[in-house]
Each structure stands twice: as structure tokens, then as C-alpha cells.
A and B are shown apart, each in its own frame.
Chain A
Amino acid sequence: GEQVEQLPSILRVQEGSSASINCSYEDSASNYFPWYKQEPGENPKLIIDIRSNMERKQIQELIVLLDKKAKRFSLHITDTQPGDSAMYFCAAYNVGDNSKLIWGLGTSLVVNP
């Protein structure tokens, strides 16, 4: 079936540096790409999303880039803080007969003080 590949699975960075997570998808008709953050013991929460009519979106320290030609999208966290440590999931909305969100396997981000 359709897949979303998410890399890396584990990412360790120093506080204040940038963190980047990359995802790739298969369905060129995918039109919605959300990112979720999940802290230990909590539910996943939407932090930022981008639709296919945009190439870049920024909310404070979060930047999402979308390259439709390459079928890739990425999350960049600038000036990371220990509170950014969490699991991050990307997803792509797969448009078709059975439209649904396809999820990446997650990235564990650890921000070291």
C-alpha cells in the first residue's frame, strides 16, 4: 500500500541548534501534509500543516517545506529547546478511491541542554 517514509528515526541535537525531519510520499495527488508532536504519555497534537498549494509555511520556530515534484516535505525546528524533545510524526493525505492519511513511523527528537 501507499507509504510515507520518515527519517531519521532518532535525532539528537544540542539546545539552540536546528533540527530537521524529512518525509517522502508516493501519491503525487496527496494534498495535505500535517505534522504532529507527541510527548511521553500524551496524545499526538497537530503543530503545523501545509497544503499542496504552498511550498513553505512558518509558525514561530517551526518551518515546513513542501517539494511536490520530489514528493518530499520536511519539518525544521530552529533554535531547539529541551521542550521540543518528543516524537514527531509526519503524514500525507492520500487522495483516491480510499482517501486517508498515511503516517510516517515517527522521529524521536532529543534536545540536549
Chain B
Amino acid sequence: DPKIIQKPKYLVAVTGSEKILICEQYLGHNAMYWYRQSAKKPLEFMFSYSYQKLMDNQTASSRFQPQSSKKNHLDLQITALKPDDSATYFCASSLDSSGNTLYFGEGSRLIVV
């Protein structure tokens, strides 16, 4: 059973719309992350959270907003979607943010038309 659950697995969205990608982890981890993967950039770090606090944001656009309602949740809200946002978005977690193994969810494949 996957311990990091991402929803939805596949998503087609219209340009200009807004979507939320869900991530829940059941590993008891304190740090969570979002990564993006596309043909242009193999594995691109977006955000890191530790104990529900934003630690690092490498996403230039404010259209991407992480939301952490619980320690084991880190959702990603994307507004004003563009075709260039098409990618697979991976949620990941680690025990804490100090150099421990990262575990990835199965990804949410987003296509913006």
C-alpha cells in the first residue's frame, strides 16, 4: 500500500483554471515537499515544509501555493493554469529536513489544454 497518497493521479485542466493537488503521507514524517517533473526539467524542487512551516520556496511564480492543514498533509494549489504547467507533480516526505531519505508519492499527472 502506498504510504504517500496523491490525488488525483491524472488531471486535465483548462488554461486559466485553478486546481488543487492533494498529498497525504502516513509515514509519520515531519518534512514534506513538492517536486515537478517534465520533459524540460527532469526533477525540479518546488517547496519544502517542516512541521507545517515553509522552509524553502524555489518556485518563481506565486500561482503555486502549498497548503498544509495538518502535519501529514501538503496540498498544492495552482491558479491561472498555463499549458507550460503540464507536468507530473510529485509529493515527497522525509523524517525531518536534515538529510534523511526522501520518499516520493506516485505523482499527479497534470495536462493543461
Q: How extensive is the interface on chain A, given as a class?
A: 20 to 34
Known contacts A98-B56, A100-B48; A43/B99 CB under 8 A: no
Q: How far is the CA of A45 from the CA of B2 in the complex (A)?
A: 12
Which listed residue (B42, B90, B97, B105) contacts A106, Cβ 8 A?
Answer: B42
B97 touches A89 (CB 8 A): no
The docked-state distance in angstroms from the alpha carbon of A99 to that of B31 is: 13
- Chain A residues 31-60 with CB under 8 Å of chain B are 31-32, 34, 42-46, 49
Which of the four size classes fits the interface of chain B? 10 to 19
Residue from A34, A95, A105 within 8 A of B101 (CB atoms): A34
How near does chain B come to A64, taking the closest CB pair, in angstroms? 14
- Which 3 A-B pairs rank lowest in CB-CB distance, beginning with the nearest? A32-B99, A93-B99, A43-B104
Q: How far is the CB of A29 from chain B (nearest CB, A)?
A: 11
Q: Which residues of B contact A (CB under 8 A)?
A: 42-43, 45, 48, 55-56, 90, 97-107
User: Does A87 sit within 8 A of B, measured CB to CB?
Assistant: yes
Number of A-B residue pairs, CB cutoff 8 Å, is 43
* A32-B99, A43-B105, A93-B99 known; A105+B56 contact, CB < 8 A: no
Residues of chain A in range 1-50 having any CB-CB distance to chain B below 8 Å = 31-32, 34, 42-46, 49
| Bound Cα distance from A100 to B35, whole angstroms | 13
**Whole-angstrom distance between the alpha carbons of A93 and B102 in the complex?**
11
- A44-B90, A46-B102 known; 17 new pairs, CB 8 Å cut-off, are A32-B99, A42-B106, A43-B104, A43-B107, A45-B104, A87-B42, A93-B99, A98-B55, A98-B56, A99-B97, A99-B98, A100-B45, A100-B48, A101-B45, A103-B45, A105-B42, A106-B43
